[in-house]
Structure 1
Amino acid sequence: MAEEKANRKKQAEGDEPRRAQRTTSNVFAFFNQTQIQEFKEAFSMIDADRDGFIGIEDLREIHLSLGRQPSDEELNKMLSECPGQLNFTSFLTLFGEKMHGTDPENTLRQAFEQFDPARVGKLPEEYIKDLLQNMGDNFKEDEIRQVWKEAPISGGVFDYDAFVTLIKRGNQEELAA
């Protein structure tokens, strides 16, 4: 337990390379003020040591209070759903993704990467259009036109990295303005 606290302290001071991604998040827009307050209360209940992060010992404590003794493997699996440390914003993001039916960014990128063996983050526009019309749930021409209105396409190349960011975080240029 002392080792975990020392590791968290190192991470908080910036000595640890694996940190939660810092992004301009619109996750708070998913919830009304009452919901955010309820999530904050739940987070505070789980954060037993009150350090602002939920770690393995916090999860163990909440499970023990409910009469359950999960293994370290189970607890680590729960924590692995969050990249980096699990602070309140990350906690809220996880619930936002679950409640609003969207996959995490890395899952969306990995789906596009299946068609991009070089992993360059971009694919030919016509190739994407063909995939949308002929694989899975086939898109109609008007549905593709609707997607293309917002899609980051330049010179016949679809930038799926930028598209995933647009889906998950909204238009970053509008947020910066």
Structure 2
Amino acid sequence: MFETTNLHLRFPHSTDYDKLLDLWNDARVQKMLSTNYIIPLGAKFGEGLRPFASDALMYCVMETKDTSDWVGFICLFEAETKNRSAKVGLGLLPEFWGRGYAKQALCFIVDYAFQELALHRVALTVFESNIVARALYKKIGFVEEGVDRKANWVDGRWQDVIRMSILDEEWVALKQDTTRP
């Protein structure tokens, strides 16, 4: 188990998969995580969560340290050994949005990816409409690499899908910058 200031991060237990399916079935969350149709997800999708978590380079469930409330997940996936890169993904229950948990978990996993797993690059995608997440990623040090223009249909309109990444040397420089908040 890993810890941040306010979170425990651990590998999912068998009881977590129902909670993960519930998370994915929240339309507010689903439209921030997927380019697929926003529809109720059933047993077939739920069955796919277990192998995805097992095959990911790192997959953690987040819980609050003080009350053990189930918050969401964060993972490193699609790892490329030769290129020492992986993608990061995370999802939180809406009642935990805006509390700093995403920042804590993301900073932890990026630091762990570079310091312990010796990755060189961590990448992610974010939807244009997810303004809060985009601001967080930039604040942490992720850099926009490109835009898949009008690549996602959601809420009755097209939106861009933005590709971002951070490199190990950028992360080290940011950590050494004492002027950063």
Is TM > 0.5 for Structure 1 vs Structure 2?
A: no
Q: Higher strand proportion, which one?
A: 2
Q: Higher helix proportion, which one?
A: 1
TM, length-normalised to structure 2: 0.24
Question: Is the radius of gyration larger for structure 1 or structure 2?
Answer: 1
